[in-house]
Amino acid sequence: MTQLPLSADLIAEANARHAEALDEDYDALGRKLARTGIDIDAVLGRVASFSVAVPSWGAGRGGTRFAKFPIPGEPTNIHEKLEDCAVINQLSRVTPRVSPHFPWDKVSDFAALREEAAALGLGWDAVNSNTFQDQPGQAHTYANGSLSAQDTATRQQAVEHNIECIEIGQQLGSTDLTVWVGDGTNFPGQQDFARSLDRYLDAASQVYAALPDDWRMLLEHKMFEPAFYSTVISDWGSSILAAQELGPKAKCLVDLGHHAPNVNIEQIVARLHRFGKLGGFHFNDSKYGDDDLDSGSINPHQLFLVFNELVEAELNPRDGFNPSYMIDQSHNVTDPIESMLSSAEAITGCFAKALLVDRDALHAAQESNDTMMAFQALRRAYSIDVAPILAKARVAAGGAIDVLEAYRLSQYRARKAQERKAVGLGAGIV
């Protein structure tokens, strides 16, 4: 029995006010697309089967390294976070899985947590390990690294934590372990580049050896922060080399904010896919670095170009194509539910636009070196307003036509502010 947090009547009433306009817009778009040989219902079908996971930690107000400004009604534990994630999915119908982070989301009974999520209509996505912070009572500090630490006992502790995450994930029904380490240096000479990578590979291979057959280990690279001179898995090059050395179950995960400004991320996506190593994404947007801004808020065209590569990759699956899609954002000035609703819409919208690219025209223009027409094939798709397709997909699945309007009408956060205890101040997450 699923027990969703919002009233279905409230969503239906809000939808009723927009239903006629949506039908008109959808029909008009359908006629426009039909003129170029695109069947809008086929696109709708693809959009309806698209999904992106939300991070448990994104349900709270993240804050920056300097401060955190909590809001009344913010979740304080994994149970409340799940409830908020259920709201996002109930309205958007595109975020049916939650990605947990350990030990942040640790509970004593994971079988019960799995059931609790199922009752809210939620499943589980990749499990994230955390060896970038010390926990109370922890035997060995990660101040000088985790999987790459010089100290053997520290590395062992990091390996064991990752293996524990796999075990928890098995109880939840997850099949991916995402490993991001904060390991790196702040000073030239602080560590030997080659030897620290050797230690990382040795420790990561022990984690890899503990993966069940149907599991993947997703290696997440990041150029800087918290280490500001070098990081051990700094870029997609280091990531793919490590994944190749570890074995076929190791893949690379691309967090859009983990590159230098202006790096061609869509090309990285194509490269990783070319070698069968594209494992997944953490969607967010970035102006300067790992800003964790809302997806599509700064550079929506880049997000579209990434999805253009993904649709292209799907048509040429090479070593298989099954990337896991997830949001990874930090919400400092918005209600996290609103940010994730808006991001889920931006992400799905870019997927839909990428489906509208006339691939034959694009490929023909590429073959004949017709630069302008190749570019126009992308431009035409990018400039189409796909909102009616997304809204239709949501309504058909029980979601809201206008997700933010329905959320605000529900007064959900105000109700939670009465029930939940206040969140403390303090610094945020990285």
Give 82's contacts (C-beta < 8 A, 6+ positions apart): 56, 98, 113, 116, 117, 120, 122
Give the end-to-end CA distance of the chain in Å, rounded to a whole number.
Answer: 37
In 173-224, which residue ranges form alpha helices assigned H by DSSP?
193-209
Say how far apart CA 212 and CA 123 lie, in whole Å: 19
Q: Which of 74, 116, 125, 220 binds ligand RM4 (CB under 6 A)?
A: 220
Q: Is 309 in the site for ligand RM4 (CB under 6 A)?
A: no
Q: Is 105 in the site for ligand RM4 (CB under 6 A)?
A: no
- Residue 429 near which of ligand RM4, Mn ion, none (CB within 5-8 Å, type-dependent): ligand RM4
Q: Which of 83, 328, 335, 345 binds ligand RM4 (CB under 6 A)?
A: 328
**Of residues 160-199, those binding ligand RM4 (CB under 6 A):** 180
One-letter amino acid identity for 257? G
Nearest distance in Å: CB 173, ligand RM4: 20
Quick one: 26 or 180, whose CB is closer to ligand RM4?
180
Enclosing H/E stretch for 81: helix 78-92
- Residue 259 near which of Mn ion, ligand RM4, none (CB within 5-8 Å, type-dependent): none
Q: Is 128 in the site for ligand RM4 (CB under 6 A)?
A: yes
DSSP string, 334-394: S-HHHHHHHHHHHHHHHHHHHHTS-HHHHHHHHHTT-HHHHHHHHHHHHTS--HHHHHHHH
- Residue 351 near which of ligand RM4, Mn ion, none (CB within 5-8 Å, type-dependent): none
Say how far apart CA 399 and CA 127 lie, in whole Å: 27
Measure Cα distances from 250 to 43, 177, 201 in Å. 32, 10, 12
Residue number closest to ligand RM4, CB atom: 180
Quick one: 93 or 97, whose CB is closer to Mn ion?
97
Q: Is 251 in the site for ligand RM4 (CB under 6 A)?
A: no
Q: Which of 255, 285, 294, 402 binds ligand RM4 (CB under 6 A)?
A: 255
Quick one: 133 or 376, whose CB is closer to ligand RM4?
133
Q: Is 226 in the site for ligand RM4 (CB under 6 A)?
A: no
- Residue 394 near which of Mn ion, ligand RM4, none (CB within 5-8 Å, type-dependent): none
Nearest distance in Å: CB 321, ligand RM4: 22
Quick one: 55 or 349, whose CB is closer to Mn ion?
55
- Which residues contribute to the site for Mn ion (CB under 5 A)? 255, 282, 290, 328
Nearest distance in Å: CB 288, Mn ion: 13
Q: Are 324 and 251 a contacting pair, CB within 8 Å? A: no
- Residue 80 near which of Mn ion, ligand RM4, none (CB within 5-8 Å, type-dependent): none
One-letter amino acid identity for 356? L
Binding site for ligand RM4 (CB under 6 A): 101, 128, 180, 220, 222, 255, 282, 290, 328, 429-430
